[in-house]
Amino acid sequence: MLVRDKVVVVTGAASGIGRSLALRFAEEGAAGVVVADLDEAGAAAVAKEIGDRAVPVRADVSRESDVAALVDTPFGPVDLFCSNAGIIDGRGLDATDQDWNSLFSVNLMSHVYAARAAVPSMVARGGGYLLNTCSAAGLLGCPGDAPYAVTKAAAIAFAEWVAVHYATQGVKVSVLCPQGVRTAMLEHGIETDHPTAKAVHAAGAILDPADVATAVIDGLAAERFHIFPHPEVADMARRKAEDPDRWLATMAHFTADLTR
């Protein structure tokens, strides 16, 4: 998909990757950009940067009604729905049921809500696109945060399901799987010695959100299911698939080194 003249929704768009996506889609000539975030003031600031082709919307993606409302845009039907909002918790076996439910609501169910809201109209019009931010952690796992790793893996599995069931009806799906990105969430994690943030920081390059947006533009144009801003993630995923026992052993040693 080329973004020019398309109507786009971006959740989690007030900062980080979402902000860079919204700005880049506008730069690429999108007909309209819905800038959605729980941070209403932040969404308004990003929309102001874009101008008349953007509208800010306060949205809690853990609420289906909020997500469903995003497809009712002043620009017309949605061509590209970027379900980007996500949260991290930082717990392991001590994570409470509430912790698990919170991450499932935002990191998985928000994608389900987006598909429910957007796909029927896309099918009726003969096509459309879903871009789901899922993280490299969804493919590779991550030290320190069980709910994050599990919900991101579930998000990828759901995206695969949508792709399989709706490809013949014109709906395309991509999952964005970055590793380290210079966002407030990562920086806060590093400052607070968060094990997942430490692992990401130790694993490789930390990209600017604008670099991730460039990878997205390229990935959408090529209509690739996996979009890897860090190319090494594809190699890691292959190694994991080829020898999962060796992969798990390597990850166990890596995690042990981090927690010493």
Catalytic machinery residues = 148
Q: How many beta carbons lie within 10 A of that of residue 93, not counting itself?
A: 5
Closest CA to 61 of 102, 101, 106, 15: 106
Half-sphere exposure of 247 (CA within 13 A, CB side): 14
CA distance 200 to 205: 9
Q: How far is CA 30 from the centre of its chain?
A: 19
Phi, psi torsion values for 63, nearest 5 degrees: -110, 120
CB count in 10 Å sphere of residue 227? 23
Distances (CA, A) of 37 to 15, 108, 206: 9, 16, 24
Q: Which residues contact 29 (CB under 8 A, 6 or more apart)?
A: 3, 4, 5
* DSSP tag of 114: H
Q: Is the dihedral of CA 10, 181, 246, 144 positive or negative?
A: negative
Distance CA 36, CA 26 (A): 14
